[in-house]
Structure 1
Amino acid sequence: MKKLSLIVFGGLLAIGTLSCDKAENKGTAATSSTTTKSDAEKKTVYVNTDSLLANYQFYKDAQKEFENKGYRLQVDLGQRERGLQGELQAIQQRAQTMTQAELQGADIMLKKKGAELQQYSQQRQQALANEQAKKMQELYANIREYIKKHNAENNFEFVLGYTTAGGGILYADESADRTKEIVDGLNKEYAETKKSAPAKK
């Protein structure tokens, strides 16, 4: 089973457009060229999404979780496939002593079991993909909610997602990088959540 792909987090390239409330300034913007102190303090910062995912414990735990689930699924499917292959070989060994009707019945049975295995495989893989997608939605929500709370203290107008692999941001000044403080805050919240969560049986 493939690792959780960074492509799943393509949406993080626009991690947040956290606009501050401008309602008070709209009425005076057209008539005054003076910039208020609060406007002057607003600025755009960014989070390096590659670094965020590499260091966010929630993501690393999720990646490990789905690697394990994917591995267990592959083992399960492999065992079922080998079982079916064993039945085929057993029938082939007895083929010369079987009647035509028995051979036809065995063929129908094997095809039915093959179709059932294929359906089972598709259902299990789809269920795992759905679970993974739900986990990614949770991760994305965690990041957005934390940035929203974090921004209440910082008054950033935009918090952008930057990745070295490409995307809409071609250059980002390191002085605007808030990745470490965002990751540290996320990890602190996640650690507290894990402590308070009931132990899995």
Structure 2
Amino acid sequence: MKKLSLILCSGLLAIGCFSCDKSANKETATAGSSTSAAGEKKTVYVNTDSLLANYQFYKDAQKEFENKGYRLQVDLGQRERGLQSELQAIQQRAQTMTQADLQAADMMLKKKGSELQQYSQQKQAALAEEQGKKMQELYANIREYIKKHNAENKFEFVLGYTLSGGGILFADDSADRTKEIVEGLNKEYAEKKGPEKK
């Protein structure tokens, strides 16, 4: 679903700034500088657009929810057509029905229509809740991987950067860690996914 893409992208921007291990080499860092005294970058960024486009977990989640959304639309369409068929059948018999029968049929159709609307709302709410949980899992995966990755690199901040806006107006390519983060995330995801399929 297109909604998932927008929700996840905006959510990644919301968590775009990951605070990491500030204690390492804190004494050698120059105030206001993105490099330490040894010349090591202390602030890097991840292009969130590129991360989403290349992270297999996200692509699988997007496909999963597109399929679930499609199946829900098919289900709701079939139920709606069934209700329409019942209405047409009653309209065809209306000339031969008594007033009491017509009122009973009308009440029955209204009840079924209300039940269908309630069913639709429940199913869409359940799908939205499932998407929300998947989004939280996505964030957790990214945060946990960056936290582990940062144990070796000791970056002070890993910022989220997007071409479509956000708080970062410019980012030097030399501070871009998107490729290595995406590769690491995909490797971890493939390892987790492998045993599940067996």
TM-score in same-fold range (> 0.5): yes
Contact 2:43 / 2:159 at 8 angstroms: preserved in 1? yes
Secondary structure (helix, strand or coil) at the match of 1:169 reads coil
Length-normalised TM-score, structure 1: 0.88
Question: How far, CA to CA, are the matches of 1:191 and 1:107 in structure 2?
Answer: 55
Secondary structure (helix, strand or coil) at the match of 2:4 reads coil
Question: How far, CA to CA, are the matches of 1:24 and 1:52 in structure 2?
Answer: 28
Deviation, 1:197, is: 1.6
Equivalent pairs, count: 192
Deviation, 1:12, is: 1.7
Secondary structure (helix, strand or coil) at the match of 1:41 reads coil
Question: How far, CA to CA, are the matches of 1:135 and 1:7 in structure 2?
Answer: 11
Q: Which runs of 5+ in 1 are unaligned?
A: 30-34
Query: Given the superposition, is the C-alpha separation of residues 191 and 179 from structure 1 closer, same or farther in structure 2, using an over 3 Å criterion?
Result: same
Query: Residue by residue, what CA displacement relative to the aligned partner does 1:101-140 show, whole Å, maximum 9, x if unpaired?
Result: 0000000000000000000000000000000110010001
Amino acid aligned to 2:19:
L
Secondary structure (helix, strand or coil) at the match of 1:45 reads strand
Deviation, 1:7, is: 3.4
Question: How far, CA to CA, are the matches of 1:188 and 1:16 in structure 2?
Answer: 23
Length-normalised TM-score, structure 2: 0.89
Q: What is aligned with 2:5? A: 5
Equivalent runs, 1:72-91 vs 2, <5 Å: 72-91=71-90
Question: How far, CA to CA, are the matches of 1:152 and 1:146 in structure 2?
Answer: 10
Contact 1:43 / 1:158 at 8 angstroms: preserved in 2? yes
Q: What is aligned with 1:182? A: 181
Larger CA deviation: 11-20 vs 44-53: 11-20
Contact 2:9 / 2:49 at 8 angstroms: preserved in 1? no
Contact 1:16 / 1:159 at 8 angstroms: preserved in 2? yes
Deviation, 1:18, is: 2.3
Larger CA deviation: 8-17 vs 87-96: 8-17
Larger CA deviation: 124-133 vs 11-20: 11-20
Amino acid aligned to 1:142:
N
Contact 1:48 / 1:179 at 8 angstroms: preserved in 2? yes
Deviation, 1:43, is: 1.1
Deviation, 1:24, is: 8.9
Question: How far, CA to CA, are the matches of 1:19 and 1:191 in structure 2?
Answer: 25
Contact 2:20 / 2:147 at 8 angstroms: preserved in 1? no
Cα RMSD, aligned residues only: 2.3
Give me the identity figure in percent: 79
Q: What is aligned with 1:63? A: 62
Q: What is aligned with 1:163? A: 162
